[in-house]
Amino acid sequence: MNAKLKRVSLALAITALMAGCSSGVKLEDAPVEDRGATSTPGNGGTTGNPNISGVAPVNLDGSARDGAGPVGVARIVYFDYDSYVIKGEFQSVLDAHARFIKASPNRKVMIEGHTDDRGGREYNLALGQKRAEAVRRALGLLGVPDSQMEAVSFGKEKPAVQGSTEDAHAQNRRAELSYR
Amino acid sequence: MTTDRTPSSLSPLAALPHISRRHAVAALAASSAVPALAQFRVEIKGVGLTQRPIAIVPFRGEAQSPQKISAIVQADLERSGEFLGIDASGVALDESTRPDLAQWREKKADSLASGSITRLGDGRYDIRFRLWDLVNGQDLGGQSFVVTEGDLRLVAHRIADYIYQKLTGERGIFSTRIAYVTKAGTRFSLWVADADGENAQSALSSPEPIISPAWSPTGGQLAYVSFESRKPVVYVHDVSSGRRRLIANFRGSNSAPAWSPDGRTLAVTLSRDGGSQLYLIDAAGGEPRRLMQSSGIDTEPTFSSDGRSIYFVSDRGGAPQIYRVPASGGNAERVTFTGSYNISPAVSADGQWLAYISRIGGAFKLQVMDLKSGSVTAVTDTSADENPSFAPNSKLIVYASQQQGREALMTTTLDGRIKARLAGKSGDIREPDWGPFQKQ
């Protein structure tokens, strides 16, 4: 191989190395005498992967577990379609939770808003947030300090029941109180 | 084998005589190979389409290779809506042989690609191809690659990109990647797949939901919402290393991440000050800056490609509609006016198109708006479309939908004429996000 061809091969090798090993080399330019010129290390592109399109998997296990809430008291508030208003029938439930939370400053409640499965995921997340915040405000009116509450949303991601019936929708439009 | 071996037309390879000899022998041996079948379903609607007929000849050596390069290339080109595959099964031809023009013209092919794949001593593969203009009998050049087995599909997509660019003058998107989320049983996974949905690799697997993946402008990182801590928080995840950074974990919900085109800023929806509102946050982390103050829900921000505006969804007018606001804040102007539920905006890289989901009579349907004229086209006949995302060449949209009661990822041309169902992992599949062009 003459010096000029060697230089070309080296340039190609560097180009290929910089761009990752699957970068194409113009067929006309493909060096033949020295096949190694287009060859780059198999792991040239990324760290820890044998090829440049590699993805390193991350596996998560075990969700946080709920703590105990007030004994014998429901932990779910249901909402009407397209509504963010707490119905009168849930007032006694919220009263009992308010008493329980206020009984110990160490107690912290997460209020998790949910929607039925119709519509977009992010928009439903915002709607679920409205439900959670409605419950947070109601508990605030009952004297629960803001520092002991956090309103979050799961949108439509964690339905209580599967299915697209009216009954399923009704059971999924809810806010859950969970103690951590 | 009908091979017209005109030395002058083969000048590039004439310099490689020993290679040509070897190929000729191998090509004969491969002529009995079983043709690879395209494994993708492409649905074509409408008439009067002008598609370029192209023959992708099975690559010599392909029958013994782990990937059927020619089938992947052909499916890529067909999915673009701009090509029609011409049957080339059983043909023995590679990059070193000139196709018989008369024979291919008879088959109504305007262009042809042929090549070879050879396993090297070190276990890697040498892939070569050449593209021919059959109408003018012109050699349109070719490329060669040396890669590991894991990058063979990437090479096939790069070949499709080369062909697409040579024949249409526009950049191909076949070697880009798509991120999506599946739910299988109680497990949620975030996948990084080839643009055809194949070759999915798990980036994250969690017992809690994952939503709203968004590729960084360089294609190396994904921002997304994870519920792993039993509330929505925003992570930025480097996909090749698996390294993750918490970007938004404020009191309340943190969601809807969107990258600015320069990759320096993320727009997010936070409820930390009450209600769902838009904030800008440094990609390196830090204190969020509130973009606007509104009485209702503001969410689903997405930057225009010039970085100057942010499109988003707001119910400030009573029902969710798409608005646009300067990225520096200021007055928002309404963009959608038809219907009472318009969400999930996506803007094409060329700035010309807005894709979004509209609720029409209880069905959720993908719409495409021409931002210059404001005219809107419904591009699907399905009723549970979600989450559109543009290919970086602004020519295709990927979206989630339902087919026969199962979630599916679909691609469509902007006029809705060519649709393809992407291959994907089993389980409910959703939240696609089309990544940027990769560095060549």
The average pLDDT across B169-198 equals: 94
Helix axes A91-103, A121-141, angle to 10 degrees: 70
How far does the CA of residue A90 sit from the closest CA of chain B (Å)?
22
Best of B95, B120, B148 to disrupt the A interface (most A CBs within 10 Å) is B148
Contact B143 A178 (CB under 8 A): no
Residues in contact with A130: Cβ distance below 8 Å, sequence separation at least 6, in sequence order: A84, A113, B275, B276, B297
Hey, is the C-beta of B414 within 8 angstroms of any chain A C-beta? no
Closest C-alpha to B389, from B401, B381, B377, B403: B401
Least confident of A47-56, A91-100, B40-49: B40-49
**Type of residue numbered B327:** A
- Mean predicted lDDT score pLDDT of chain B: 88
Backbone phi and psi for residue B82, each to the nearest 5 degrees, phi listed first: -105, 0
Using a CB–CB cutoff of 8 Å, tell me whether B176 touches chain A: no
Substitution target from A27, A82, A157 for chain B, most B beta carbons within 10 A: A27
Q: Which of A19, A60, A157 is the closest to B211 by Cβ?
A: A157
The continuous run of DSSP H or E covering A93 comes out as helix A91-103
Complex ipTM:
0.87
What is the SS3 assignment for A17?
Answer: helix
Contact criterion met (CB below 8 Å) for B182 and B428: yes
Q: Cβ of B196: how many Cβ atoms within 10 Å?
A: 23
Residues from chain B that touch A145, judged by Cβ atoms under 8 A, are: none
Tell the burial category of B123 from Cβ atoms under 10 Å away from its Cβ (0-12, 13-18, 19+): exposed
Query: Would you place residue A99 in the very low, low, confident or very high pLDDT band (cuts 50, 70, 90)?
Result: very high
Q: Which helix (H) or strand (E) holds A178?
A: strand A174-179
CA distance B275 to B291: 14
Of the ranges A144-153, B40-49, B384-393, which one carries the lowest mean pLDDT score?
B40-49
Residue B411: name the closest of B390, B381, B429 by CA.
Answer: B390
Inter-residue contact B286 to B250 (CB < 8 Å) = no
Confidence of residue B422 (pLDDT cuts 50, 70, 90): confident
Strand partners, B368: B355, B377
For chain B, the C-alpha Rg in angstroms (whole number) is: 24
pLDDT band at B50 (very low <50, low <70, confident <90, very high): confident
Q: What are the C-alpha distances in Å from A78 to residues A86, A87, A135, A177?
A: 8, 8, 11, 12
Residue A7: the pLDDT is: 47
Residues A110/A177, Cβ–Cβ less than 8 Å: yes
The dihedrals phi and psi of A155, each to the nearest 5 degrees, come to 55, -130
Looking at A47-87, list the stretches that DSSP marks H as alpha helix, in order from N- to C-terminal side. none
Chain A residue with the nearest C-alpha to that of B18: A32
Residue B405's pLDDT band (boundaries 50, 70, 90)? Answer: confident
CA B429 to chain A, closest CA, distance in angstroms equals 13
What's the CA gap between B260 and B264, in Å, rounded? Answer: 6
User: Using 50, 70 and 90 to split pLDDT, how confident is the model at A147?
Assistant: very high
- CA–CA distance, B78 with B48 (Å, rounded to integer): 16
Strands B210-215 and B201-206, by their bridges, are unpaired
Q: What's the whole-number mean pLDDT along residues B76-105? A: 92
Distance (Å, whole) CA B302 – CA B284: 19
Identify the DSSP state of A45: S
Alpha helices in B80-200 (DSSP H): 101-106, 152-168
Residues paired with residue B255 on neighbouring β-strands, in sequence order: B269
pLDDT at A39 over 50: no
Phi, psi of A41 (to 5 degrees): -55, 145
pLDDT per residue over B114-153, tens digit each?
A: 999 999 999 999 999 999 999 999 999 999 999 999 999 9
Domains and CATH numbers, chain B: 11-168 (3.40.50.10070), 177-434 (2.120.10.30)
- Residue among B141, B154, B203 whose CB faces A28 most closely: B141
Q: Is the pLDDT of residue A57 over 60?
A: yes
pLDDT > 50? residue B7: no
At CB < 8 A and 24+ separation, what contacts does B354-357 make?
Answer: B354/B311, B354/B322, B355/B388, B355/B389, B355/B390, B355/B397, B355/B399, B356/B322, B356/B388, B357/A120, B357/B385, B357/B386, B357/B387, B357/B388
Amino acid B43: pLDDT: 65
Inter-chain contacts counted by CB atoms under 8 A, chains A and B: 222
pLDDT tens-digit map of B222-240:
999 999 999 999 999 999 9
Q: Report the relative pairing of strands A58-59 and B177-184 from DSSP bridges.
A: unpaired
Residues of A with Cβ-Cβ distance to B275 under 8 angstroms: 129-130, 133
Provide the pLDDT for residue B9.
28
DSSP-derived secondary structure letter, A40: -
Contact B267, B278 (CB under 8 A): yes
Average pLDDT over residues B34-51: 52
Cα-Cα-Cα-Cα torsion A26, A27, A28, A34, nearest 10 degrees, comes to 100
Q: What is the DSSP letter of B288?
A: -
Query: Which domains are seen in chain A, by residue range?
Result: 1-61 (no CATH), 76-179 (3.30.1330.60)
Q: How many helices (H) and strands (E) does chain A have?
A: 4, 6
Q: How much is the pTM? A: 0.85
Q: Do A122 and B126 touch (CB under 8 A)?
A: no
Distance of CA B135 to the CA centre of its chain: 30
Helices and strands, number each (H, E), in chain B: 5, 30
Backbone phi, psi, residue B437, to 5°:
-55, 140
User: How does the average pLDDT of chain A come out, rounded?
Assistant: 80
> Is the confidence at residue B160, as pLDDT, over 70?
yes
